[in-house]
């Protein structure tokens, strides 16, 4: 039984980065912009955060650095696709390729660097509950922030006027434009926010979760975060749940390796990627379900002239 709770706790840790990034991507997809650059953004933010943590010794500054790097890259992406109407798929891909190269380039001096040991953040009182305490209440504070963020995004999207406008822009930018909303600026803000959260996720991975810098260390988590928004049919709480499930798959894999299960290690390593395909297949199988839930203008350019 203890092992199950241990696994639960570890899954929540592993899923947090996915949740942060995916909630951000959810916001910009709800506004109609698909950012395939998430992987590149997370890589650049990971090295930005790691280097900042190393030089300043402050995690908080490092998280801000990661979020800022992510927001800056996403804003550049946003200007290209929103104002210059470049193809969203191609531009996002370009950002991912650039991010992979750029992070490796600037990170070369940090590959041998270690950060100091971190003390886990705990909730006094609650952490002493047997079994559940260690599983749920002994995490880094960003883990709780991710839960709060899911609540905040859900509230913002479905309970505020600004959220309604954002969703309207994602469904029909033409109508929102006709009503006088600055569609392009709102989209840019959504994309930058998505980038900031992806960046925070990247910094979380390099500063807290691993904590070290290795070239290409995001290892597809940006792409999995993108898949998660579809998996969750663009709903914040489902994103969080999906992120923990994927965290669970990642952890299960490590656990099985640790237990010495007689399966080749490669078979276990590919589990999260295989799970992503399986989940995509299962979710997308019912086309109507996707069409009904997907923001109608997702991936399509909008020009106020036409």
Q: Give the residues lining the site for another protein (CB under 8 A).
A: 36, 40, 80, 83-87, 89-91, 93-95, 97-102, 104-105, 108, 182-185, 215, 219-220, 223, 226-227, 230, 264, 266-267, 269-270, 273-274, 276-277, 280-282, 284-285, 287, 290, 304-305
Q: What is the 3-state secondary structure (H, E, C) of 16-61?
A: HHHHHHHHHHHHHHHCCCCCCCHHHHHHHHHHHHHHHHHHHCCHHH
- Closest CB to another protein among 57 and 220? 220
Nearer to another protein, 29 or 59 (CB): 29
Start-to-end C-alpha separation, the chain: 61
CB of 115 to another protein, least distance (A): 22
Question: What minimum distance in Å lies between the beta carbon of 89 and another protein?
Answer: 6
Q: By three-state DSSP, how is residue 241 classified?
A: helix
Q: How far is the CB of 240 from another protein (least distance, A)?
A: 20
Six-digit token string for 23: 């909630």
Nearest 5°: the CA angle 98, 227, 25 is 65
Q: Which is nearer to another protein, 38 or 67 (CB)?
A: 38
Neighbouring residues of 243: CB distance < 8 A, sequence distance ≥ 6: 15, 16, 18, 19, 22, 146, 225, 228
| Cβ closest to another protein, residue 17 vs residue 208 | 17
Q: How far is the CB of 219 from another protein (least distance, A)?
A: 8
* 123, 134 contact by CB (below 8 A): no
Rank residues 9 and 37 by Cβ distance to another protein and give the closer one.
Answer: 37
| Smallest separation (angstroms) from another protein to the CB of 116 | 26
């Amino acid at each position: 039984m203890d092992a199950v709770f241990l696994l639960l706790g570890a899954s929540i840790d592993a899923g947090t980065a996915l949740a942060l990034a995916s909630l951000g991507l959810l916001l910009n997809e709800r506004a109609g912009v698909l950012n395939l650059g998430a992987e590149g953004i997370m890589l650049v933010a990971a090295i930005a955060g790691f280097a900042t943590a190393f030089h300043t010794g402050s995690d908080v500054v490092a998280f801000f650095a990661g979020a800022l790097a992510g927001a800056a890259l996403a804003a550049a992406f946003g200007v290209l696709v929103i104002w210059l109407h470049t193809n969203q798929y191609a531009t996002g891909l370009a950002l991912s390729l650039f991010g992979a190269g750029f992070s490796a380039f600037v990170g070369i001096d940090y590959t041998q660097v270690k950060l100091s040991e971190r003390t886990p953040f705990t909730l006094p009182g609650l952490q002493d509950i047997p079994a559940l305490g260690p599983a749920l209440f002994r995490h880094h504070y960003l883990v709780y922030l991710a839960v709060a963020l899911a609540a905040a995004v859900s509230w913002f999207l479905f309970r505020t006027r600004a959220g309604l406008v954002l969703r309207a822009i994602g469904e029909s930018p033409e109508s929102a434009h006709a009503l006088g909303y600055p569609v392009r600026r709102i989209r840019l803000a959504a994309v930058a926010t998505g980038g900031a959260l992806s960046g925070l996720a990247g910094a979380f991975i390099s500063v807290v979760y691993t904590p070290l810098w290795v070239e290409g260390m995001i290892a597809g988590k940006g792409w999995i975060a993108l898949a998660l928004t579809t998996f969750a049919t663009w709903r914040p709480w489902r994103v969080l749940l999906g992120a923990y499930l994927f965290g669970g798959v990642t952890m299960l894999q490590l656990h099985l390796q640790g237990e010495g299960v007689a399966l080749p290690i490669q078979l276990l390593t590919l589990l999260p990627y295989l799970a992503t395909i399986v989940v995509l297949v299962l979710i997308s199988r019912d086309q109507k379900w996707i069409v009904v839930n997907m923001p109608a203008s997702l991936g399509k350019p909008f020009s106020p002239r036409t």
